[in-house]
Structure 1
Amino acid sequence: MRYTIAHRTRYHYPMPVHESHTICHLQPRSDISQYCTRYELSVSPRTRVFSYADRFGNDVQHFAILPEHGALEIVARSQVVTARGDGAAPPPLPRELIDDDPNRDDMWDYLHESRYVRFSAELDALATHVGVPKHGDDAVAWFQHASSTLHDEFEYDTTTTTVHATVEESVRMRSGVCQDFAHVLIALCRRAGIPARYISGYIHSGSGEMLGAEASHAWAEAYLGPRGWVGIDPTNDTWIGDQFVRVATGRDYRDVSPVRGVYSGASSSVMSVDVAVEALSYEQQQQQQ
């Protein structure tokens, strides 16, 4: 599938601010499953934008606006081709093949706690409820089961958590948004000794009702040994297919937040975000070729 994506972020300050410094994770990645054919980032007030690749291989933009300004607008426009297929479940995999995988030694970041993925008594209780895959168990089936448990027993609610919510808080409230669902699933995987990482991106809802399609989306990937990194979206309880667009990869939300920055001046700001993901028709694709 080919998608066009427009992601607009606006900040309004009650009083002028100055010396603002911002970093953005808004550029879709190009890899074996998708290709970003076009990307542009515009900033108002106008300023020079710099790019670099972070330690996780994400494309990051950063900029500074030193003069006083009462508002900041960041618009990212991209076009992406995905080639993941329909999102079918991978074949079964015995748990021990993950433990014996030679790449496991390189997975320290994805096996231990991180800023928002912490182990706790609340997580222990949830893990007992979900179960832990043992020698001989199908790790793929367990990953699906863990996702389904969160989807069925947690409520998608945009009012109960903030972007700084921890796994402990999300489990206690049994609710949250896609970021929280992903964090909890990642925590369950890491607690079970399965490497897991956080993926930020977008989802195209199409004709169906997909939760989280109105803004940036997030899901989890688990490293399943010879199967490699396998993604599932616990918010919608679906394997990652062509309707998903990957932007950035990290240990948790802290590593890949779409826009983050600091400034001098007013102590508060009002932020608004608009995201539009549109699938191009065959005719539109032909016109662009």
Structure 2
Amino acid sequence: MALFKIVHITKYQYNWPIKESINEIRLFPHNFDNQEVLQYQLLITNNPEVTISHDYYGNRVGNFNSFGAHTEMTIESRMLVKVNHSLKIPTIDATKVEDLKNEKSILLLRFCYPETIVKQNEILSILEKIDCTNKPIIEIAQQCNEYIFNNFTYTKGITNIETTIDEILEMKKGVCQDFAYVLLQLVRTAGIPARYVSGYICPNESGLRGEGATHAWIEIYTPTQGWLGLDPTNNIWTMDNHVKLSVGQNFHDCTPVKGTFKGLAKQTLSVCVSIGYEDGRQFEEINDVQLEEVSVQFQEQLDYIELLHQQQQQQ
């Protein structure tokens, strides 16, 4: 069992005042058999009203608007979470892919569909090397997890949220989100229901990759044991230091914060995650997030506004 105090701060800044921002957040940790949320607090600049609902995958979703001109918006999520994964390694049972055909859930069927990619033959080749014939689904998933860990290099800064599975397969490099995507493609192609998981991996001085920051992994479904977490970044089953936020088909279903705004301004985004233990130890990581490039037309408008501002200052 482990107890973590997590503070997740998302800060947007704009070089010119914007009029309004419309936002959707998935920053609410899951309550489930192995994870208990003891305390939770959400703090947002100007304290807007947040409407809470549940999405198709069961995640809690918050929606809010920030009216009035502003040049900065901070969303701070504070949580105290107790995690207790009693089984570090799931039992390898006899359930095989053909046994899943009795599952009638539409949601499980959705989680079986791999993405349409150019390099699908490479995925099939990996599965052929692993040899999925007549193996239990847990063993197949574990071997896929191990393959990614052994054949892909953990490298920060070369991918972003728009990087495709084809690009990841080409580079053989990336971070947790990229490895989760490849693992999803492998196990779904093999016929195993699997979902993307967004959360945190809390430092435990074990040298796990991605510790102290937002993290991503996958969960596979077995009729006998339910949803089981696999972390391809570290080649492990999820443990006491994995804290789950949201689940979905892919990252876009689990994005912690997304939205839009009115106004001509360039935005920057930074994310700070702080994780504290009961004994007072504290870990913190700050990342400047690379956002999508703006269109040429929008950039020209930004440049024009900047030029007008410089001319006014010179007068």
- Farther off after superposition, 44-53 or 174-183: 44-53
8 Å contact kept, 2:219–2:230: yes
Letter in 1 for 2:126: H
Structural RMSD (CA)? 1.9
Pairing of 1:259-278 with structure 2 (within 5 A): 259-278=257-276
Q: C-alpha separation between the residues in 2 aligned to 1:280 and 1:165?
A: 37
Letter in 2 for 1:136: N
Q: With a CA cutoff of 8 Å and minimum separation of 6, indicate the structure with the bigger relative contact order.
A: 1
User: Structure 1: where are the runs of 5+ without partners?
Assistant: 283-289
Flag the 1:270–1:191 CA change in 2: closer, same or farther, 3 A.
same
Structure showing greater Rg? 2
Letter in 2 for 1:112: Y
Number of matched pairs = 278
Give the structure 1 partner of residue 277 of structure 2: 279
Percent of matched pairs sharing the same residue: 28
| Aligned-pair CA distance for 1:33 | 1.3
Give the structure 2 partner of residue 82 of structure 1: 83
What whole-Å deviation, never above 9, does each CA across 1:128-163 have from its counterpart, x for those lacking one?
A: 124366452132222111111111111112211111
User: Structure 2: where are the runs of 5+ without partners?
Assistant: 281-315
Flag the 1:37–1:279 CA change in 2: closer, same or farther, 3 A.
same
| Aligned-pair CA distance for 1:123 | 3.4
SS in 2 for 1:211: coil
What whole-Å deviation, never above 9, does each CA across 1:254-289 have from its counterpart, x for those lacking one?
A: 00101101001135311111111223249xxxxxxx
Give the structure 1 partner of residue 9 of structure 2: 8
Flag the 1:163–1:106 CA change in 2: closer, same or farther, 3 A.
closer
8 Å contact kept, 1:98–1:223: no
What whole-Å deviation, never above 9, does each CA across 1:203-236 have from its counterpart, x for those lacking one?
A: 1121121212232111011112322211110011
Give the structure 2 partner of residue 253 of structure 1: 251
8 Å contact kept, 2:97–2:136: no
- Farther off after superposition, 125-134 or 167-176: 125-134
Give the structure 2 partner of residue 50 of structure 1: 51
Give the structure 1 partner of residue 219 of structure 2: 221
8 Å contact kept, 2:97–2:192: no
8 Å contact kept, 2:27–2:77: yes
| Aligned-pair CA distance for 1:240 | 0.7
Give the structure 1 partner of residue 121 of structure 2: 124
SS in 1 for 2:224: helix
Letter in 2 for 1:197: R
Q: What's the TM-score, normalizing by structure 1?
A: 0.90
* Aligned with residue 149 of structure 1, among 102, 127, 147: 147
